[in-house]
Amino acid sequence: MNRYRMTCAAALMAVALTGAATVPAFAAGSGEPEGSVLKRGSQWMSVRAGYAKGSGEVAPDGAIGGGFGYRRFVLDRWAVGIFAQYDLLGKFGSAADISVPLTLEVTRHTRWGAGVYPYVGVGGGAFYNKLYRTGADQSGFKPGRYLTFGAQFPIKRQSMLGLDVRMAQVDKFDANPAFPGPPTDRHKLDDLLVDLQGPASPEMPLLFDDNEAKTQTLWSVKLEYSITY
C-alpha cells in the first residue's frame, strides 16, 4: 500500500473516530427523541464525498468521489434511497477512469446506544462508466449492483454525520491503451448468444483459458452529511 492510500485511510479513520467520540455528547443535547429518525415516514437528504477506487490487478490508485441522495423510511428502520454519485476511480497520467452510478437502494437501519445509527443494505442501478483521455476512450451505461453499509451519528437537531461504504459489481471495459482489461479479441457473451446456435462441432466458439474476470468491484468510502425531517 503506498503512502497516498495510507494517508487517505488514516484521515478517514481519524475523522470517523473523532465523530464516534464526540457525537454522543452532541446527540445528548439535540432534543431529538431517540430513534425517531428511523421511524416510518422519516426522510433524509444526504450529500457525501470521499474515496473511490476500482479493483484490478493493475488498477490506478483510488481517487475522490461525491454524490447526493434521498432516503425515505417506508417501515420503521427500513429505508428506500435514491443516489447519484460521481467517482473518479483513478488516473494513469492524464487518462481517467470515471464512474457515475445512478442507483436505488434498500437499507436496514438500527441504533446502538444514544448516538450511533449503523445500517446495511443492497442496491442497484445504472452505472455510467467512462475511460477518458486514453487515446481510445470508451463510455456507456452498465447495470450494477452493490452492498452498502455504514453508520450515522447525530450531530445536532435534524443533522447526521456518517460514513458510507459501498462495494459495487459492474462489468469491465475491454483492454484499453491506458487501462488493462480482458483482451479485445476474447469472445463477447452477446456474440456467443448468436454464434453458439447450431450443433456441437470443433468449429463452434470454444473458450481456451478464458478465465480473467470480466467484472470489477468499485469501492467507495465516503463521509456523509444528512438532514433528517
Partner 1 sequence: MSKRWMMVAGALLLLCAAPSAVMAAAESMMTVTVGREVPHGTFSDLAESGSMAGLSAGYRVTRWLAAGVDFTYFRSTGTHDGADLDVLEPSTGRNVAVTLAENWTLTEMGLYAKAFFLERGRFSPYLRAGAGAYSIRYSQDVSLAAATTTLGGSEQASHFGASGGGGVRFRVVGGTSVGFEVLYHRVFASNVDVNLLTTGLTAAFGPTGN
Q: How far is the CB of 165 from partner 1 (least distance, A)?
A: 19
The cell numbers describing 122, all together, are: 443492497
Q: How far is the CB of 16 from partner 1 (least distance, A)?
A: 28
**What 3-state class would DSSP assign to 36?**
helix
The reply on whether position 78 binds partner 1 by CB under 8 A is: yes
Phi, psi of 57 (to 5 degrees): -65, -40
Q: How far is the CB of 195 from partner 1 (least distance, A)?
A: 9
Q: Figure out which of the listed residues 72, 111, 130, 145 binds partner 1, where binding follows CB under 8 A.
A: 145
Of the two residues 133 and 186, which places its CB atom closer to partner 1 in the complex?
A: 186
41 backbone φψ class: left, alpha, beta (φ>0; ψ -120 to 50): left
* Cα(180)–Cα(178) distance, integer angstroms: 7
Judged by CB under 8 A, the chain residues 170 through 199 that form the site for partner 1 are: 170-171, 186-194, 196-199
Q: How far is the CB of 158 from partner 1 (least distance, A)?
A: 26
Q: Figure out which of the listed residues 75, 139, 140, 177 binds partner 1, where binding follows CB under 8 A.
A: 75
Of the two residues 133 and 188, which places its CB atom closer to partner 1 in the complex?
A: 188
**What 3-state class would DSSP assign to 158?**
coil
Query: How far is residue 18 from each of residues 21, 25, 51, 140, 194, measured CA to CA in Å?
Result: 5, 12, 18, 40, 57
Of the two residues 2 and 201, which places its CB atom closer to partner 1 in the complex?
A: 201
The answer for residues whose C-beta is within 8 angstroms of residue 33's C-beta and 6 or more apart is: none
Of the two residues 111 and 142, which places its CB atom closer to partner 1 in the complex?
A: 142
* Cα(171)–Cα(214) distance, integer angstroms: 6
The reply on whether position 45 binds partner 1 by CB under 8 A is: no
Which single residue is written with the C-alpha cell 474476470? Answer: 213
* Cα(204)–Cα(197) distance, integer angstroms: 9
The reply on whether position 210 binds partner 1 by CB under 8 A is: yes
Judged by CB under 8 A, the chain residues 15 through 44 that form the site for partner 1 are: none
Stretch of 21-29, 56-64, 71-79, 131-139 contacting partner 1, by CB under 8 A: 71-79
Stretch of 86-94, 110-118, 131-139, 141-149 contacting partner 1, by CB under 8 A: 141-149
- The DSSP call for residue 38 is G
* Cα(177)–Cα(102) distance, integer angstroms: 27
* Residues contributing to the site for partner 1 (CB under 8 A): 74-75, 78, 104, 106, 122, 124-126, 142-145, 170-171, 186-194, 196-202, 204, 206-211, 213-215
